[in-house]
């Protein structure tokens, strides 16, 4: 196991006291170190938002990209150098609003990386506008009377579009969140982890207490994560029971499909720039060979 302190940096997070992102950061460091992955073989790709600041607070390679563009960046990095562990991580606004189109298509491509959504059900950085997962009825800046739209179901969206590893966790449970990250990172192919994250400044509905009263562990409840229909039923459950209960854990896991970076014909021809000496690379020649 790599020493977890290897991932520490001097920079202090700018998050509010009590933000769920502290738990997510601690879980991420624990997960990578327990998987024995070194910082110089890890790329954390984020977007824009409070949660997306995470690459600054963790010693590894990092790329804070444009808002909503985590997934194409992560896909490009992994395809260019499949030896790297690539983890895309960002907020619900980033990934499900502006980046929503990429989220629909990433499972179809099935590049081997992990996508983690810090799902605080709100745009936090821009001070509290509604996001796709904002609960119906919540009052905030953009919905001063109350939110009227239906709440999006990212777990069901990930499942129906073909994601072969789908899980959820609660940011207040660092041990379980780290465990889910380890499983997601170890999965070969596109994997999705939705982390329920309290926002202490802009969401006064989905609090720590709210989650602690509702979350239950799917694995302890005997859920069969190899059964797609059971997984979809579990993803739909809170939307059917008025969010009285919230399942966390592995919804679905299926290892039958090979990731794109293993089966893509260009990569099979050894066209990976990172596998070559890139100091004097002739890009024109490389493209000719690839076509």
Asked if 23 touches ligand TPP (CB under 6 A), the answer is: no
- Smallest distance, Mg ion to C-beta of residue 282, A: 44
Q: What is the edge-to-edge ordering of all strands in the sheet holding 114-119?
A: 61-64, 42-46, 85-91, 114-119, 191-196, 165-170, 246-253, 215-217
User: Do 170 and 248 meet the contact criterion of CB atoms below 8 Å apart?
Assistant: yes
Give strand pairing partners of 30: none
Residue given tokens 């996001």 in the structure block: 131
Is 93 one of the binding residues for ligand TPP (CB under 6 A)?
yes
Q: How far is CA 3 from CA 32, 41, 83, 163, in A?
A: 10, 15, 21, 31
Site for Mg ion in 78-107 (CB under 5 A): 91-93
| Whether the Cβ atoms of residue 77 and residue 118 lie closer than 8 Å to each other | no
Bridge partners (DSSP) of residue 167 are: 193, 250
Q: Which stretch binds ligand TPP (CB under 6 A): 56-64, 106-114, 122-130, 212-220?
A: 122-130
What minimum distance in Å lies between the beta carbon of 54 and ligand TPP?
9
Q: Where are the beta strands (DSSP E) in 127-176?
A: 165-170
Is residue 57 a contact point for ligand TPP (CB under 6 A)?
A: no
**Count of residues of this chain found to bind ligand TPP when the rule CB under 6 A is applied:** 19
Of 90-98, 149-157, 183-191, 263-271, the window that binds ligand TPP (rule: CB under 6 A) is 90-98
Residue 125 touches ligand TPP, criterion: CB under 6 A: yes
Q: From the CB of 195, what's the least distance to Mg ion, in Å?
A: 11
Q: Does 48 bind ligand TPP (CB under 6 A)?
A: yes
48 binds, among ligand TPP, Mg ion, none (CB under 5 to 8 A by kind): ligand TPP
Q: Smallest gap, in angstroms, from Cβ of residue 191 to Mg ion? A: 20
Region label for 43, one of left (φ > 0), alpha (ψ between -120 and 50) or beta (otherwise): beta
Instruction: Report how many residues bind Mg ion under the rule CB under 5 A.
Output: 4
Radius of gyration of the chain (CA): 19
What residue ranges bind ligand TPP (CB under 6 A)? 48-51, 67, 90-94, 98, 118, 120, 122-126, 131
What residue ranges bind Mg ion (CB under 5 A)? 91-93, 120
């Amino acid at each position: 196991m790599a020493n977890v302190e290897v991932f520490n940096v001097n920079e202090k997070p700018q998050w509010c006291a009590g933000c769920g992102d502290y738990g997510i950061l601690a879980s991420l460091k624990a997960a990578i170190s327990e998987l024995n992955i070194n910082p110089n073989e890890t790329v954390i790709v984020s977007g824009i938002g409070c949660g997306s600041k995470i690459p600054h607070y963790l010693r590894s390679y990092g790329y804070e990209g444009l808002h909503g563009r985590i997934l194409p960046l992560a896909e490009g990095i992994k395809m260019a150098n499949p030896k790297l562990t690539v983890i895309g991580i960002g907020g619900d606004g980033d990934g499900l609003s502006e980046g929503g189109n990429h989220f629909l298509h990433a499972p179809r491509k099935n590049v081997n990386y992990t996508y983690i959504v810090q799902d605080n059900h709100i745009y936090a950085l821009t001070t509290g506008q509604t996001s796709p997962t904002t609960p119906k009825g919540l009052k905030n800046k953009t919905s001063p009377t109350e939110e009227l739209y239906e709440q999006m179901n990212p777990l069901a969206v990930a499942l129906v579009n073909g994601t072969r590893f789908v899980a959820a966790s609660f940011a207040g449970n660092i041990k379980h969140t780290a465990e889910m990250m380890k499983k997601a990172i170890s999965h070969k192919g596109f994997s999705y982890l939705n982390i329920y994250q309290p926002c202490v400044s802009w969401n006064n509905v989905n609090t720590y207490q709210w989650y602690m009263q509702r979350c239950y562990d799917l694995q302890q409840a005997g859920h069969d994560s190899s059964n797609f229909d059971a997984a979809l039923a579990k993803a739909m459950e809170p939307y059917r029971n008025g969010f009285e209960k919230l399942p966390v854990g592995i919804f679905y896991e299926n290892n039958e499909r090979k990731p794109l970076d293993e089966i893509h014909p260009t990569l099979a021809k050894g066209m990976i720039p990172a596998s070559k000496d890139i100091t004097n690379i002739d890009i024109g020649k490389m493209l000719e060979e690839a076509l």
